[in-house]
Amino acid sequence: MRRPSLLLPLCSLAVIALALLAAPVRAEEKKMVENPAYKEWAKHKVGALARYEMVNDAMGGQKITMTQTLVELTESKAVIQTSMAMDMGGQVMQVPGQKREEPKMVAEGTLPMGMPASSEKPTITEGTASVTTPAGTFDCKWTEGKGKSGDGTYVFKVWNSDQVPGGMVMMETQSTSGGQTTKTSMKLIEMKKP
């Protein structure tokens, strides 16, 4: 029987990869720069949402639906609510929405939200590609990263488009730690713009 307690570590990997391109939270320098996550959400109106399907191989290919909705936008912050629905062996479990604030400005030279302090800066490559998901076809900029965290390694690739609330169209991650490899994929399945 699958255990719900495995969900948090598996979702955390997806959040780490997303966060590598999103809001830094731990300051190492004082200079303030524009937060990329705020910038992506600020292109859209309150009520805009992006819904994703996430599949994680460590949980037998379990599907999780994650919805991110812009609930507040000011000159200084964007507030995003994230909710999830998990299929646990035919039984759907709803995870209540959690709100997070993305400030407009953040300290330069910080680690992204959710990235362990022991992580080394990843090696990054970038490019462009057209990507098709159930939500449509998008011209994307992709970013691929490889790095180490603690005793493990990770690889991620994220495809982003200005057309999508929050920016992300698709993501793939793989992490290896303690001899175990975990793969996670996320793809945009629906978006709404008011």
Q: What is the model's pTM?
A: 0.77
**Domain residue limits at 22:** 4-192
Helix (H) or strand (E) holding 14: helix 7-19
Dist CA 54 CA 86 (whole Å): 10
Q: Residue-wise pLDDT tens for the chain (194 aa)? A: 444 444 444 444 444 444 444 444 444 446 888 888 899 999 999 999 999 999 988 766 678 999 999 999 999 999 999 999 998 777 889 998 999 999 999 887 655 554 545 556 778 999 999 999 999 999 999 999 998 888 888 999 999 999 999 999 999 999 998 888 999 999 999 999 99
Whichever domain contains 72, its CATH number is: 2.40.360
CB 158 within 8 A of CB 141: no
How many domains are there within the chain?
1
Read off the tokens for 130: 């057209």
| CA separation for the pair 120, 115 (Å, rounded) | 10
Nearest to 185 by CA among 24, 18, 40: 18
